[in-house]
Amino acid sequence: MKKVVAFWAFFDVCLLAASIITIIFSILWRMSDDVLRHLFITNAYLTAGLAIGVMFVVTFIVSVGAIVQPNHVTLPLAILNWFILADMTAVVTVGTMIWWKTLEERKNFGEAFNNSLPAVRLDIQNQFSCCGWYFSNETGNIVNDGFCAVIKNQTGCVNSVSSAGDTTLNDVFTSIYGFVAVLMGLFIGTLCVIKTRSEIERFRKIDAKRGGRGFV
């Protein structure tokens, strides 16, 4: 029984760590002045990440309440697994949304770039030494200042920005999908605890019927 509970506790602590990490990064990234990160990761994704972190915290609280119950009370553990399934659904949904965005990065980032404030576009142009999005002769989205004060056959920003965005989004959705492993481990661990406690309780009842003499 101790090994089963230790297995369960390991993944439960991992879930708590995941919740803290998710909440902290969602808040810090929203407050960050990094224009590229805001270009790649929208506030909608940060809100979704914060929601997932809160869901993890709620699940952890439920798990603590479930594990401290007597052996014959397994309903809270069963309810816990429904919370875990809800968490997995949310994680897979958000991770897939971000992954889907990577399939049309040039288009999505281009729209975000063109809709950004001139100061944001200027910062990106100076950072990557590029002008405009696709071509340096685009007149609608070039900020003629800094690196692009004098435009002379400079390249567009599409390749540099898309490459940086691809790396960022891949890291994000890979990390999010990694939470599924933690949730799956906790789900399996909870099933094992339920089974073990049910067996202990069954043997206790059999032993009680035998007058507490145990098995020969």
Query: Is residue 101 domain-resident?
Result: yes
- Map residue 135 onto helix, strand or coil: strand
Using alpha carbons, select from 8, 11, 45 the residue that is nearest to residue 173: 45
Residue 216 pLDDT: 43
Nearest C-alpha neighbor of 164 from the set 124, 122, 117:
124
Distance from C-alpha of 106 to C-alpha of 88, rounded to nearest angstrom: 30
Residue-level pLDDT at 82? 97
pTM for the structure as a whole = 0.83
Is residue 216 in a domain?
no
**Does pLDDT of 46 surpass 90?**
yes
**Within a domain: 212:** no
Q: Tell me, yes or no, whether 159 lies in a domain.
A: yes
What whole-number distance in Å separates Cα of residue 18 and Cα of residue 7?
17
**CA-CA distances (angstroms) from residue 168 to 12, 72, 98, 175?**
28, 48, 11, 11
CB-based burial, 157-187: b 16+ in 10 Å, e otherwise: bbeebbebbeebbeebbeebbebeebbebbb
Question: 51-60, 73-82, 152-161, 197-206 — which is least confidently predicted?
Answer: 197-206
Residue 175 lies in a domain: yes
Confidence of residue 149 (pLDDT cuts 50, 70, 90): confident
Structural domain including 95 reads 1-203
Question: Which residue from 100, 66, 90, 97 is spatially nearest to 191, judged by alpha carbons?
Answer: 66
Residues in a beta bridge with 135 = 155
User: Domain total for the chain?
Assistant: 1
Mean pLDDT of 190-214: 75
Angle at 30 between CA 28 and CA 32, to 5 degrees: 65
In a domain, 211, yes or no: no
- Helix ranges (H only) for the chain are 2-31, 35-40, 43-67, 75-101, 105-114, 118-128, 158-209
DSSP 146: G
pLDDT, one tens digit per residue, over 75-96 is 999 999 999 999 999 999 999 9
Domain assignment present for residue 210? The answer is no
Q: 186 is written with which tokens?
A: 């906790």
Residue 178 domain flag: yes
Residue-wise pLDDT tens digits, 17-38: 999 999 999 999 998 888 888 8
Answer whether residue 113 shows pLDDT above 60.
Answer: yes
